[in-house]
């Protein structure tokens, strides 16, 4: 393991110190999450028997899972361990040389890095893991074992089939700092949430041509907010809800189903046996043009998180999974000092609107309109 904690050269044009002078790696997409769980059998029951992810390989210590349309070895690794946490957010890069670029990039940032030519997990070759400037464990790799792509195996296709890994969502105290760092790494912002005073509450960033490969949610962090898998249609998500109801697992449905304002996607949030949050997600939009505009939402618009105006449950704002350092220890969780999105939009002191033109007074405190009657916490 290489510990690179010494100060690195910063270009004078970058006062943030978050954009090195060396080229960034060319990131293709989010590719897999390395997730530590405390009970492998219970996790298998959830991810395989309930959600229908496909097993690529398993033993007594780990299960490697992939979605229906995936051809690389896995999208999710479940590893047995003492603490439920995220061990690595892994991104595929475009060429083998981009692994070198990733290592050099994070070394210049002064981040701790570790390189393994044989990979950190089964099915992945040469890879570098880093503790990034936000405290998250990132991995970058190119070499990967190919497996059968199941996209035409309709004999295996379930009514709630998860077809692709879509994105990660990360909780961080300082969203603008995280945005600067990820934009320097080559991510582009598709949408964000702000207020009139300049506070940024969340940002959605992408490399592939969808709304996001990862998002930054303002809160105490670093923590993993959720991992998201896509379905083909809305009815696949409804089927998952029906299945969970039939299995008397409705208490594991945290939020939804519903339609997001941000991303326009249909969604469902559920909790695995360790409390790791999983989003089931479908029907966002194309973002591939170089001048794709960023959509900014007012934090007081009650349709930003749910297009139907339903409020967000408090746990969605406050609960998240720990992340690990390169030694496998939990990273320290830093308290967010900026305003909380939940505090400014929900409850007796929070005001929101649906029609900014005729109801805007509500979020200035002139009237108490906004969320539906009985929904305040």
Q: How many Cβ atoms are within 10 Å of 274's Cβ, its own excluded?
A: 18
Per the prediction, the chain carries an average pLDDT of: 91
Of 312, 332, 328, nearest in space to 377 by CA: 312
> Are residues 287 and 188 in contact, defined by beta-carbon separation less than 8 angstroms?
yes
pLDDT at 218 over 90: yes
pLDDT, one tens digit per residue, over 289-308 is 999 999 999 998 989 999 99
HSE-up (13 A, CA, CB side) for residue 360: 5
pLDDT at 326 over 90: yes
CA distance 334 to 219: 9
CA distance 158 to 334: 41
> Are residues 55 and 165 in contact, defined by beta-carbon separation less than 8 angstroms?
no
Phi/psi class of residue 218: alpha, beta or left (left: φ > 0; alpha: ψ in -120 to 50)? beta
CA angle (178, 84, 56) in 5-degree steps:
95
CA distance 337 to 188: 25
pTM: 0.92
Q: Picking from 48-52, 194-198, 213-217, 365-369, which range would have the lowest pLDDT averaged per residue?
A: 365-369
What's the confidence (pLDDT) of residue 156?
Answer: 96
What's the confidence (pLDDT) of residue 321?
Answer: 98
Which residue carries 């004999």 as its tokens?
155
């Amino acid at each position: 393991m290489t510990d690179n904690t010494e100060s690195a050269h910063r270009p004078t044009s970058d006062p943030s110190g978050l954009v090195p002078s060396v080229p960034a790696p060319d990131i293709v997409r989010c590719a897999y999450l390395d997730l530590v769980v405390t009970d492998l059998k219970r996790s298998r029951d959830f991810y395989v028997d309930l959600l229908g992810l496909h097993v690529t390989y398993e033993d007594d210590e780990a299960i490697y899972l992939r979605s229906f349309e995936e051809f690389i070895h896995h999208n999710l690794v479940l590893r047995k361990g003492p603490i439920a946490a995220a061990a690595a957010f892994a991104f595929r890069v475009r060429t083998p040389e981009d692994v070198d670029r990733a290592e050099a990039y994070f070394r210049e940032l002064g981040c701790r890095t570790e390189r393994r030519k044989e990979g950190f997990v089964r099915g992945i070759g040469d890879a570098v893991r880093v503790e990034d400037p936000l405290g998250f464990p990132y991995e970058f790799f190119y070499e990967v074992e190919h497996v059968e792509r199941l996209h035409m195996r309709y004999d295996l296709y379930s009514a709630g089939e998860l077809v692709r890994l879509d994105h990660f969502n990360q909780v961080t105290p300082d969203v603008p700092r995280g945005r600067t760092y990820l934009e320097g790494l080559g991510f582009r912002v598709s949408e964000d949430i702000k207020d009139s005073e300049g506070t940024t509450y969340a940002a959605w960033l992408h490399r592939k041509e969808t709304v996001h490969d990862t998002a930054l949610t303002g809160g105490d962090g670093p923590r993993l907010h959720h991992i998201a898998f896509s379905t083909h249609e809305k009815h696949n998500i409804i089927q998952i809800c029906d299945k969970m109801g039939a299995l008397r697992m409705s208490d594991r449905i945290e939020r939804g189903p519903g339609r997001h304002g941000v991303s326009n996607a249909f969604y469902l949030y559920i909790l695995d046996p360790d409390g790791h949050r999983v989003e089931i997600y479908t029907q966002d939009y194309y973002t591939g043009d170089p001048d794709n505009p960023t959509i900014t939402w007012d934090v007081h618009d009650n349709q930003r998180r749910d297009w139907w105006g339903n409020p967000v449950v408090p746990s969605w704002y406050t609960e998240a999974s720990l992340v690990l350092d390169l030694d496998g220890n939990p990273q320290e969780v830093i308290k967010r000092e900026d305003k909380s999105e939940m505090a400014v939009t929900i409850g007796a002191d929070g005001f929101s609107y649906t029609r900014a033109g005729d109801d805007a007074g509500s979020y200035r405190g002139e009237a108490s309109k906004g969320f539906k009657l009985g929904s305040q916490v």
